[in-house]
Amino acid sequence: MSGRMTLKTLGNSDIKISPIGLGCMGLSEFYGQPISEKQGCELILHALDQGVNFFDTADMYGGGHNEKLLAKALNTRREEAVIATKFGIVRENGEYARTISGKPEYVRKSCHESLRRLETDYIDLYYIHRVDKNTPIEETISEMSRLMEEGKIRAIGISEASAETIRRAHAVHPLSALQSEYSMLTRDPETEILDLTNGLGISFVPYSPICRGLLSNWKPSEDKSDFRNMLPRFQGEAYDSNKTIADSLARIAEDKGCTLAQLSLAWVCAQGENIVPIPGTTKIKNLDSNIEATQVNLSNDDLTAIETILTANTVQGNRYTDEGMKGVNI
């Protein structure tokens, strides 16, 4: 499979990434009880063997567990990987409550801690996980720029930022990636952000491109360790209504001979050359299927059929809780 994937350049950097990455968050927490570390390492190495080199983590996933897992898996193969990690969400381990910090001294401290957990001398792509309203973005980016001069990070990214913040940040130091939620059921970036990132040469990295499993076969449950069970769009009637949209889309996938998850990935990729999704999975079978999705081509007729369904149906419920929504588009 690896031979069929043409590498892309990550934003305004010289880093080469596979056209699809691996979101590692669910290997540590948020999506129910995680798989074992051994299975997590096997999955990461399988991705690498298949040509997926773009690994997404964050300091706060599992309170550092996710970065350590990546270090353990990559071990002697670190040079083959492009590691993207993030700072800025400050939370007590296991708690959802959080504060945000983009203060220069916090940036530097976080970077050093991530380097230690990742057992590496450099982070390929360092993201601001959420924008700190109380620290001018210029101050945060300036410190990241210094980390870059020191060779500690190779590229700068930002997540869930507004167009204005992206412009201001990019003016201080060219950004290489914007990571925000984007899928057939979460189309917020289409109003302004997709064109903006494309115009500035910034890679757009959609997280939750399968809408956290709504565009596959995940179903809500009573499991408190799965934070999707708290999200508005997975509640009761909202979920039932959203599932109907997913079912309609699944029929298009069936006609094309692919799965709905694959259709979802092909759809985000079709929205721009600079788009590199990072679906999360805990299963080798699904990882292989996601890699195959890079070979699914959507015709204009396919895209029109999808658009007809999406414009005829409004997704019910926000993608985050009210508290979570306060942290996006800043």
Q: How far is 296 from 209, CA to CA, in rounded Å?
A: 15
Q: From the candidates 31, 61, 239, 320, which is the catalytic residue?
A: 61
Q: What is the rounded end-to-end Cα distance, in angstroms, of the chain? A: 39
Rounded-to-integer distance, Cα 306 and Cα 317, Å: 20
- Name the 3-class secondary structure at 42: helix
Minimum distance of ligand ATR from residue 58's CB (angstroms): 12
* Least distance (Å) between residue 122 CB and ligand ATR: 25
**Residue number, 122 or 218, with CB nearest to ligand ATR:** 218
Residue 98 or 103 having the CB closest to ligand ATR: 98
Cα–Cα distance, 327 to 207 (Å, whole number): 16
Identity of the residue, 102 or 209, whose beta carbon is nearer to ligand ATR in the bound complex: 209
Our CB check for ligand ATR shows the closer of 66 and 120 to be: 66
Backbone φ/ψ region at 106: left (φ over 0), alpha (ψ -120 to 50), beta: alpha
Residues that bind ligand ATR (CB under 6 A): 23, 25-26, 31, 207-213, 216-218, 259, 261, 279-283, 286, 289-290
Closest CB to ligand ATR among residues 148, 261: 261
- Least separation, in Å, of the C-beta of 266 and ligand ATR? 12
Q: Which residue is nearest to ligand ATR (CB)?
A: 280
* Dihedral of alpha carbons 236, 240, 245, 249, sign: positive
Q: Which is nearer to ligand ATR, 12 or 66 (CB)?
A: 66
Residue 126 is among the residues annotated as catalytic for this protein: no
Say if CB 17 and CB 51 are below 8 A apart: no
Q: How far is the CB of 44 from ligand ATR (least distance, A)?
A: 13
Tell me how far, at minimum, the Cβ of 150 lies from ligand ATR, in Å: 31
The CA-atom distances, in angstroms, between 150 and each of 16, 145, 146, 172, 203 are 21, 9, 6, 17, 23
| Shortest distance in whole angstroms from residue 174 CB to ligand ATR | 26
- DSSP letters of 119-154? TSS-BSEEEESS--TTS-HHHHHHHHHHHHHTTSBS
Closest CA to 307 of 180, 163, 190: 190
Pairing status of strand 203-207 against strand 8-9: unpaired
Query: Hey, which residues are catalytic here?
Result: 61
